[in-house]
Amino acid sequence: MVATATGGPEVLEVQSLPVPEIGPDQLLVEVAASGVNFKDSYRREGVYPTPTPFVVGEECAGRVIAVGADVTEFAVGDVVATASAPAGTHATAAVLDAATTVPVPASVSPEVAAAAMLQGMAAHYLVNSTYQVHAGEEILVHAAAGGVGQLLVQMAKAKGARVVGTVGSAAKEQVARAAGADVVLRYDEIEDLAAAVRDVTDGGVAVAYDGVGKATFEASLGSLRRRGLLALFGAASGQVPPFDPQRLNAAGSLFLTRPTLMHYVATRDELLWRAGELLGAIAAGSLHVMIGGRYPLERAADAYRDLEGRRTTGKLIIVP
């Protein structure tokens, strides 16, 4: 699936390309499934400038069909996954860097592994490292029926937090509750969301997890208790405009961070720790990854239309 130009989903086109060559530190994988992510939308739209044409997708799982000369950790036949393939994963075969590839336990299906890697490791660093969620704390999770959202809710509940989720429809409200959210607010129906969050909590939350961005940023800030943290980890509704740091002072010595996964899996040890805990929890049945839709390669553009059009719950995957 090639992005032939910068633009909307209409620039996506299936093309027949030669199977790529691998370098000495790389693997060739027969792709079982590939994750559909906003990161791919941002690249296709030029928000993250990327020369075109390029094969879309960075996240996948599948079986190794060739290994580079210097690779010692993996062998042909292994089932592996990555959240950061260098040259496109919405394809029948993809090149992976061994350094950013992890083994998939036998009890986790490649489809679930492909669905879990990016969003699951993001949720993991957000609740363990960007902010350490503790038992009894109140937290806010926007888009709580979404891919990252459902995983954040589950991981925070497992730590004993009280979770306020926001969603954009009645159907999504059910999904957020099923994931474990204690209170679910319909942000499309509430005029003063920050006041609503403060009302249902002890005056505000310790941390607001915001992957929606432009539409929710102000409410996230207004929902925080004194010295609370806003973890702005995405921009599903658009990028947040420039911001005056003095506002953090006035609102209660608040913290603002804009984290991204690559800085939380920068070493092999950290990657293996996060992926190991994530895939281990899925294997143990304590973490559920909802696959909200499966699309063949030819329908990848529809997958992005659905994701960007706010029509999805859980995680979408491409099954070539």
Ligand X SMILES: NC(=O)c1ccc[n+]([C@@H]2O[C@H](COP(=O)([O-])OP(=O)(O)OC[C@H]3O[C@@H](n4cnc5c(N)ncnc54)[C@H](OP(=O)(O)O)[C@@H]3O)[C@@H](O)[C@H]2O)c1
- Residue 115 CB, shortest distance to ligand X, in Å, is 10
Contact with ligand X (CB under 6 A) among 23, 103, 259, 280: 259
First to last CA, the chain: 10
Burial class (CB in 10 A: 0-12, 13-18, 19+), 76: exposed
- Give me 291's structure tokens: 């696959």
Is the preceding omega at residue 24 within 30 degrees of 0, hence cis?
no
- Region of 46-54, 105-113, 245-253, 302-310 interacting with ligand X (CB under 6 A): 302-310
Site membership for ligand X, residue 310 (CB under 6 A): yes
CB of 146 or CB of 320, closer to ligand X: 146
Dist. CA 219–CA 274, nearest whole Å = 30
CB 76 within 8 A of CB 67: yes
Site membership for ligand X, residue 9 (CB under 6 A): no
CB 121 within 8 A of CB 97: no
CB of 151 or CB of 224, closer to ligand X: 151
Please report the DSSP string for 192-208 in residue order: -HHHHHHHHTTSSEEEE
CB of 110 or CB of 168, closer to ligand X: 168
CB of 170 or CB of 195, closer to ligand X: 170
Site membership for ligand X, residue 274 (CB under 6 A): no
Site membership for ligand X, residue 167 (CB under 6 A): yes
- Residue 261 CB, shortest distance to ligand X, in Å, is 4
- Region of 7-15, 32-40, 106-114, 156-164 interacting with ligand X (CB under 6 A): 32-40
CB of 169 or CB of 174, closer to ligand X: 169
- The residues in 228-247 that bind ligand X, with binding defined as CB under 6 A, are 233-237
- Give me 97's structure tokens: 């860097």
Dist. CA 108–CA 88, nearest whole Å = 23
DSSP 318: E
CB 53 within 8 A of CB 11: no
CB of 48 or CB of 243, closer to ligand X: 48
Helix axes of 170-179 and 147-158: crossing angle, nearest 10 degrees: 30
Strand pairing class (93-97; 26-35):
antiparallel
- Residue 313 CB, shortest distance to ligand X, in Å, is 7
- Give me 198's structure tokens: 């403060």
**Which residue type sits at 247?**
R
Contact with ligand X (CB under 6 A) among 1, 22, 31, 37: 37
- Region of 26-34, 51-59, 227-235, 277-285 interacting with ligand X (CB under 6 A): 227-235
CB of 103 or CB of 259, closer to ligand X: 259
Site membership for ligand X, residue 89 (CB under 6 A): no
CB 67 within 8 A of CB 74: yes
- Region of 51-59, 100-108, 220-228, 254-262 interacting with ligand X (CB under 6 A): 254-262
Which among 294, 289, 262 has a CA at the least distance from the CA of 278? 289
Contact with ligand X (CB under 6 A) among 3, 38, 115, 140: 38
Residues in touch with ligand X (CB under 6 A): 37-39, 118-119, 122, 143, 145-149, 167-169, 172, 211-212, 215, 233-237, 259-261, 307-308, 310, 312
